[in-house]
Copies of this chain bind each other. A is one copy, B any other.
Amino acid sequence: MKLSIIGAGNVATLLGQALVQSGVVIGEIFSRSLVNATALCSSIGGSPIDSVNKLNPNSDLYLIAVSDDAIVDVLGQVKFFDRLLVHTSGTVGIDVFEPFSFEKYGVFYPLQSMNKQLKIDFTEVPFCLEANNDKSLLFLHDIARSLSPKVYHISSAQRETLHLAAVFANNFTNYLYQIAFEITKDNDVPFEILLPLIQATAEKINNNVPADVQTGPAVRHDVKTINEHLIKLENYPQWKELYQVFTNLIEKSTK
């Protein structure tokens, strides 16, 4: 299987490395910066290009891993129409391909936050796949299965839902960790004390509905503790509103 990659960022790098390990051969790697394209080629093979219209029409799959805003621009520069193109975005619909004349297209979305500085275990990554025809979907399915057992066929509308849910469960959660980090640091308490609790909270929902394992002063309607926390948060006015919004939501959800 020959793969060309459009992009040389986090997703392009990590997916490219994993696919090469599973036996894929790289055709071209595009980046606006030839330096970045060359760097990735030196790691996983292929020919660096800095213009999309230099792509050869002889790869089995073209993986578009650029920023969401750049996808349409990339598609407009592709000069052949009979090859399978996929993007890797969690938020862009499959309809982004429709204004063009491509025969085969789809979405190959690994639902994991990707940072090429950090190792990633792809066997734990769910792949959300979509295609405009069944044959392409099966082709993408087999590629995804070579990386992970967690492969799902997910429509664009479902993918949007997933992405929104992930912002809550992942991005906002990480910001809560940062708040805890800053509060403990300011008060000379080792942040590490909180780490086991954080892991346990995340693990608990593998086997429980989150609402069933909700703990804390809000779910107990423990007004005294809540008021003490609000007093302490006078030192952190930027987070007081967040504390109140959460407390109200949790209290309401368990009345």
Contact = CB atoms under 8 A, between A and B. Distances in A.
A95 to B, nearest CB: 14
Interface stretch (A18-26, A30-38, A48-56, A178-186): A178-186
Which of A91, A124, A173, A241 is most buried by chain B, counting CB atoms within 10 A of its CB?
A173
Nearest to A194: B169
The dominant DSSP class at the A interface is helix
Nearest to A114: B215
A118 B187 contact: no
Interface string A59-95: 0000000001100000000000000000000010000
Interface string A173-209: 1111111110110111110011111111111111011
A165 B180 contact: yes
23 contacts: A69-B224, A112-B196, A124-B199, A152-B193, A154-B189, A154-B193, A161-B189, A165-B189, A167-B217, A168-B176, A168-B243, A169-B197, A170-B194, A171-B214, A171-B215, A171-B250, A172-B216, A176-B176, A181-B205, A195-B206, A238-B252, A242-B242, A242-B249
Interface of A: 68-69, 91, 111-113, 115, 118, 120, 124-126, 128, 150, 152, 154, 157-158, 160-181, 183-184, 186-190, 193-206, 208-211, 213-219, 222, 224-225, 228-229, 232-233, 238-239, 241-243, 245-246, 249-250, 252-253
